Amino acid sequence: MERQIYPFKPFKSKSDIGLQTSLTDSFAPSSFPSPIMAAAAAHHPIGHPLFSRIRLAGPSDIPHIHKLIYEIAVYERHTHLFSATESSLSAHLFSYPPFQSFTIFILEVSHEPFPENSPHNSNANYSPVVRIVYSEVPVDDPEREIFKSEDENVVVAGFVLFFPNFSALLGKPGFFVESVAVRKCYRRKGLGKMLLSAVVNQAVEMDYGQVELVVLEGNETAIKFYEEMGAQILTEWRVCDLTGDSLRVLHTNDCIDHYGEL
């Protein structure tokens, strides 16, 4: 299956963004004290509250990140290509400051307000996004124990991995979204939009020009989701991928061309 390139529209300010302004505003980074969030949930007329938080990932999140990446490979039928290990992820993901290289936002959820004394409530590089979403029925998470987070009664529900790139046409940097996932039982609650909005908001704050991602051509649900968020489809482009044996063969041939036979 082919992958299509989906860039969010180049933007200069929040009002010129590829997502609806109301969406980015509603998920703008902020932190609410737990009592206020609890009161808001208690007075909401319908639905079951689900407290949601987006924060920067750290080394302790590697096991959950590894599991989520594998779930993506299963969904895309790419398990034969899956070779990532917790060790390989640890060796590369947190070697540089956030937003200067590979960066991951972790999505966490809880049926209760997040602990006020949580070490994840503040970060020198990023202020966590904290929101309440509502579900018509309680969420049944069969893998709650597997994805249990460090905070009590908190579960990892998804992640987004992105890194800086550069647009020669715009003359500005941007972000490329390598992977984004929300676990099945937490989908269709606005959490995917919350994750991508966090990336877009960060791009705007850093005066970046765009956010790009790719999606499998046959994944109609994801395609519709990105289009509704304002993504433009570049159907005239194709993703070219050199990996595995192809990468090594090209390297070997290049060495022969430049230096003679090895």
Q: What is the pLDDT of residues 133-155, one digit of tens each?
A: 998 889 999 999 999 999 999 99
Tokens matching residue 164: 């800086």
> Does this model's pTM top 0.95?
no
Q: Do the domain assignments include residue 236?
A: no
- Which pLDDT score is estimated for 229? 85
Closest CA to 35 of 108, 107, 87, 113: 113
Cβ neighbors of 246 (< 8 A, separation 6 or more) are none
- Which pLDDT score is estimated for 247? 74
203: CATH:
3.40.630.30
- Chunk the chain into consecutive blocks of 10 residues (it has 262) and report each block's average pLDDT, rounded to whole numbers: 54 38 34 49 69 96 98 92 96 94 97 90 90 91 96 96 95 96 95 95 96 86 85 80 75 56 46
- Active-site residue, 186 included: no
Query: Based on the structure, what is the number of domains in the chain?
Result: 1
Closest CA to 178 of 191, 159, 192: 159
Judged by DSSP in three states, 213 sits in strand
| Structural domain containing residue 25 | 14-211
- Which pLDDT score is estimated for 113? 94
Closest CA to 184 of 23, 60, 74: 74
- Which pLDDT score is estimated for 191? 96
Out of 126, 186, 208, 226, which one is annotated catalytic?
A: 226
Residue pair 113/38 in contact (Cβ under 8 Å)? The answer is yes
Q: Do the domain assignments include residue 227?
A: no
Closest CA to 192 of 176, 177, 203: 177
